[in-house]
A and B are shown apart, each in its own frame.
Chain A
């Protein structure tokens, strides 16, 4: 009797759950459908006209690149300094932001004995740093400092500090507290505990997140260049702005950007695989 009632209840619960999932799914489909029809209206060029033109532009630059012949590789080499500048923006931003993030993470995790009252303050601070779109900081700094890679670097570093800070503090939360307790038992100061008990545990994970962020930041700095922060983005803006005639240069930049991003991507996922493997082996 009791079993039958229980079964009945389970069945009704399951029915209700299925209903909820169905409603959720329908909601997503409705958002997609209405969103696309609405945005099709709002767009200056419609979807169907655009579709026929979709391959025009890529086709155009491929043809121009083909016509350029072997000189095309010369173009790729010519844009390498600009690409290097973009990589430098990302590199410095990730280094500075990462260093900042370590400090923020150490100040915002109860598990590593951060100073209590500071924890919620630093957490909110990181939330705000993460929420600030890089574009806004970059545009503001470009206005004050003039067109240069530094505004983009600061903007990306600011965002990185918040984003990595959060991930790092999550890593801190999952460490083993025994080494910390062992060190405090022999009278180690807070800095010594962080250095000898926390850092060795978290370093592989930190590095892995750091590499992932570097990859994201290379993409972000390329985009910020387009709004005036130097590097490959700025070159792209120039060649695209010319309209017809610079298609081969645009194609060269596209190829260079694609290759660099792929390279960084593969390298970082290889290194991350090694790091995670190493930390698992311990």
Chain B
């Protein structure tokens, strides 16, 4: 063969050039199409309008409020009394003997030192708020609203002076409000208040070492129960944080995920045999089982949850069944694909030893699909922990519902952030646990 013959192309030049042209065209067209789609959705979602309506200050409030708490100094004008309480809660009010040192109560009048030169004097129905670099704001509550005397000059934007309500927040952590019926001063502090025990509990503010000693000692604070159970009780029943209820809700959510996934695996496996070509000769049976899987998956968790909530009400059973129904479809499909891909030689080897049908399944088939089975079930368990929070929010209960409800009331953001942190911790823990199990069971270490 001559060299020249080697130079002759042994392929169709025309086809190759066409192929290259097509590829070049796709390379240009695909990003362009994506860009067009994004532009279309920009208008479909009305992003410009959304940005103009967004309230970033809400995020700031949420951020400060979730890491800080405030102490209210409130004068109720109708009843003529002065109250100092954490978050204005009656059950967390200071008694006259133990006032915080920045409040000086004199009968029904008070002097509040907010630090850095910010001072409030409440006398009768008059509040005088002195602000450094600005002056003194004098606000009087009258029978039909409020009357204000501000220093001369333009009114700064941290003052909202309406006929019915006066509100001033010169810094993020200092605020005063005056209405017809009350004068209120808020002083903000960092941290989560009353996190461990209720304000009026004997255990409030006790250091950990002392608690530990108390739990082990035999001198009971409450004669009817041991110190250990008193500590647990006071902690779990804390009315501001509801630890007990939150833990219960978390437990419900985990239960939904675990029960739902295990049930789905339990029903999915036998059904998968019915849907696999090499195990079920009947075409009709196979077709029926596969359509059943499609149906269960297609209905989707959303619809299943809504139907089950109607039938079974609030609780983990509802969520577990919704997950079980959807995932019987998904896992069944996955398992049947795994079954169709098994190596038939192992089954034949077992058959050659004279094994019965059940023995062939047990020693020829199960060992082959067990890794797929275990790893898929664990993957689904992981993702179902997250799904269970969403199903909860649809109304099935658990931590999801609790989260939606605390967000709706939008009063105490620290409770919301507490729930969020716990949820994420649980999801990550489930993730790690299933990863660990998968490594142990499949890789053998």
Contacts and interface: CB of A to CB of B under 8 A. Distances in A.
A44 B54 contact: no
Interface stretch (B2-10, B114-122, B423-431): B423-431
B102 interface: no
Contact of A43 (B297, B313, B407, B410): B313
A185 interface: no
Residue among B41, B263, B297 facing the most chain A CB atoms (10 A cut-off)? B41
A57 B44 CA distance: 34
Given A133-B386, A148-B45, A148-B50, A262 B298 contact: yes
A195 to B, nearest CB: 11
Interface string A135-158: 110011001111011100100000
B393 A257 contact: no
A130 B46 CA distance: 28
Contacts of A47: 312, 317
Nearest to A46: B312
Contact of A131 (B34, B59, B410, B427): B427
Contact of A85 (B44, B314, B315): B44
B262 A31 contact: yes
Given A39-B255, A95-B34, A139-B403, A262 B41 contact: no
B389 A39 contact: no
B311 A150 contact: no
B394 A53 contact: no
Contacts of B386: 133-134
B299 A258 contact: yes
Contact of B404 (A36, A92, A95, A227): A227
Residue among A43, A128, A153 facing the most chain B CB atoms (10 A cut-off)? A43
Contacts of B54: 144-146
Given A88-B45, A133-B386, A258-B298, A50 B313 contact: yes
Given A39-B259, A56-B311, A132 B45 contact: no
A47 B404 CA distance: 26
B302 A223 contact: yes
B265 to A, nearest CB: 9
A143 B66 CA distance: 14
Interface in B294-347: 294, 297-303, 306-308, 310-318, 320
A221 B126 CA distance: 54
Interface residues of B, number: 61
Contacts of B390: 133-135, 220, 223-224, 227
Nearest to B299: A258
Interface in A14-56: 28, 31-32, 35-36, 38-40, 42-47, 50-51, 53-54, 56
Given A143-B58, A258-B300, A50 B403 contact: no
Interface residues of A, number: 61
A131 B45 contact: no
Contacts of B55: 144-146
Nearest to B53: A146
A148 B424 contact: no
Contacts of A88: 41, 44-45
A277 interface: no
Residue among A35, A51, A133, A139 facing the most chain B CB atoms (10 A cut-off)? A133
Interface in A36-94: 36, 38-40, 42-47, 50-51, 53-54, 56-58, 85, 88, 91-92
Contacts of B404: 139, 227
Contact of B389 (A32, A133, A254): A133
Contact of B302 (A130, A144, A219): A219
B172 interface: no
Contacts of B301: 219, 223
A261 B263 CA distance: 23
Contacts of A40: 317
Contacts of B44: 85, 88
A194 interface: no
Given A91-B37, A135-B403, A43 B312 contact: yes
Contacts of B318: 43
A262 B293 CA distance: 11
B424 A261 contact: no
Nearest to B262: A32
Contact of B62 (A143, A240, A265): A143
B329 to A, nearest CB: 10
A97 interface: no
22 contacts: A31-B262, A32-B263, A35-B255, A36-B317, A36-B320, A39-B259, A42-B317, A45-B311, A50-B311, A50-B313, A88-B45, A92-B41, A131-B428, A133-B386, A133-B424, A135-B403, A153-B45, A223-B301, A240-B306, A261-B300, A262-B298, A265-B298
Interface of A: 28, 31-32, 35-36, 38-40, 42-47, 50-51, 53-54, 56-58, 85, 88, 91-92, 95, 127-128, 130-136, 139-140, 143-146, 148-150, 153, 219-220, 222-224, 226-227, 233, 236, 240, 254, 257-258, 261-262, 265
